Amino acid sequence: MTLMRPWRFVVWFGTVSLLADFVYEGARSVTGPLLASLGASALVVGVVTGAGEAAALGLRLVSGPLADRTRRFWGLAIAGYALTVVSVPLLGVVGTLWAACVLVIAERVGKAVRSPAKDTLLSHATAATGRGRGFAVHEAMDQVGALVGPLVVAGVLALTGGDYGPALGVLALPGVAVLVLLVWLRSRVPNPRSYEEEHTPYEHEPAIPESAPASDSRPLPRAFWTYAAFTATTTAGFTTFGVLSYHLVERHLLATAWVPVLYAAAMAVDALAALATGWLYDRHGARVLVVLPVLAAVVPALAFTRTVGVAVAGSLVWGAAMGIQESTLRATVADLVPPGRRATAYGVFAGVVGAASLVGGALTGALYGTSIPALIAVVAGVQVLALVLLGVSARAA
């Protein structure tokens, strides 16, 4: 069987992610109200959703090395997606709080299981398409699902008078499509590493079929660690949408019902920014990442004003920064780490981003309650440090 062209592989994998985002972003858009309807307090909702995000990022420190050690990239990707698409429809029918909490966390565990393996599979094809463009197209397609899923759930809730069963049950359909596409894609491209070996062969790493176990205990490159330090710093100074939306509602700049609409607009900007910076990355390399700390510094300066138009613009800038974080940052990891250690690197990278995101959310939330000018100044200072670390990372590469 002739190997599928690299771009076709990227697009089909993007379709898988689009459908998967349809499923889990649709569910995440109503997780809070769903748990509340089952008797959860605000504390329980916060603990459960926080535990889910911690699992989604922290467990990749395990799933990444496991993928490299076993080379079961397809198996882990399919298992992770299966856990997600099975957990979501069940949320609408369990009827008890404890079971719903378990399913919310299980859905996030599915993301942790699949993500390092998925990113590694995708990284092989992007060696031929261009790292930046390949990851950018994948991210753009991903965001289409993130837009459509919540809108479909909202529509079904409106039609059924707020019944979560049908609203989440309808997500089983794209979930089935995810698994069918994955199994078909695996049959067409059982070893995506062939793309990279044909395009940029690694002389020190002979071709190894996915089914064969391989041990590679070499440390991750120094350039990866300096790059991870840059990423951690810029993320730690990044304002979360939760704080942005809190400001918009508390200062009566937007009605609560308009916040999801603004979020959808930010996701559209996310996709466009991913495509633009991905194309620039392939032409100019990691220097294009200079724009990320700049955007991150601009967000609070715009978003925390008392003028509606300016605050909305700040939220859209936040979306642009998110697009770069979700695409070009991941593409750079693939260029810094050889294939035999790449899943491990993606797992470590996700752990770094998760820890930094927690710090960033706590930092900006605390400063917002104390002094908005101080928040703007501190974020700007953190992003200046991030620019310095990006320069150090470029020299180490």
Mean pLDDT, consecutive 10-residue stretches, the chain (397 aa), reads: 84 95 84 82 71 80 90 95 95 92 93 92 90 88 86 86 89 96 94 79 43 59 91 86 76 73 81 89 88 95 92 93 87 87 88 80 80 93 94 78
Convert 91-137 into a string of H (helix), E (strand) and C (coil).
HCCCCCHHHHHHHHHHHHHHHHHHHHHHHHHHHHHHHHHCHHHHHHH
Q: According to the model, what pLDDT value does residue 1 have?
A: 56
> Which helix (DSSP H) or strand (DSSP E) does residue 2 occupy?
none
Locus of tokens 């957990």 = 87
Within 13 Å of residue 347, how many CA atoms lie on the same side as its CB? 23
pTM score, two decimals? Answer: 0.75
Q: DSSP for 278-305, please give it.
A: HHHHHHHGGGGGGHHHHHHHHHHHHHTS
Residue 131: CB partners within 8 Å, gap ≥ 6? Answer: 123, 281, 282, 331, 332, 334, 335
Residue 99: CB partners within 8 Å, gap ≥ 6? Answer: none
Q: How far is CA 311 from the centre of its chain?
A: 24
Q: According to the model, what pLDDT value does residue 330 have?
A: 83
Coil/strand/helix, residue 79: helix
Backbone angles phi, psi at 173, to 5 degrees: -65, -55
Interatomic CA distance for residues 91 and 113, integer angstroms: 20
Q: Is the distance from CB of 363 to CB of 237 less than 8 angstroms?
A: yes
Q: According to the model, what pLDDT value does residue 212 have?
A: 42
